[in-house]
Amino acid sequence: MKLIGIARRKASRAVMEELNQVNVSCENGVEGDFRGKPGKRQVTVLSLDSWQDACGEVGETLPWTIRRANLLVEGIRFSERNVGDVIAIGSLQLQITRETDPCPRMDEQFQGMTQALRPEWRGGVCCRVLSDGDIQLGNSVQLVTQAES
């Protein structure tokens, strides 16, 4: 798996800002992101494979940032069985807490996207930061399952 996208937004409805690298911390989440305070939805992670499935359903190739997630990874599809697992990117460790539920805001981005993101956790996962780390595009990503820890 590989990290292929990093983004943040300064306010709830602000435009997503794409980054090449960033610090992610237990205290602030993705540096400069409004949602970074500690909690179950501190950082959101989207699967490229699942995003492409959703785009295929609406018949359009769309930028991943309209999903409004912080990180984009390739090589995995998330599911309910991943709750509690840890996404490791270098020293950064993110614990998956739940699905990122698609909301009607997705239809404001592209009509039909809310429904296209509902099956199979296509909307990605919410995470809590367990350990800080500096990350950059191209970093290797590992999924440590509960059984392995």
| Whole-angstrom distance, CA of residue 128 vs CA of residue 105 | 23
Residue 147: what pLDDT? Answer: 63
Residue 103: what pLDDT? Answer: 83
Mean pLDDT of 115-135: 97
- Residue 109 pLDDT exceeds 80: yes
**pLDDT averaged over the chain?**
95
Q: Which of 148, 140, 134, 39 lies closest to 86 in space, CA to CA? A: 148
Q: Which residues contact 148 (CB under 8 A, 6 or more apart)?
A: none
- Residue 12 pLDDT exceeds 90: no
Which residue bears the tokens 């595009």? 137
E strands along the chain, which residues? 2-8, 17-18, 21-25, 29-30, 43-47, 71-74, 86-89, 92-99, 125-131, 133-136, 142-144
Mean pLDDT of 43-67: 97
Mean pLDDT of 45-68: 97
Residue 57: what pLDDT? Answer: 96
Residue 148: what pLDDT? Answer: 57
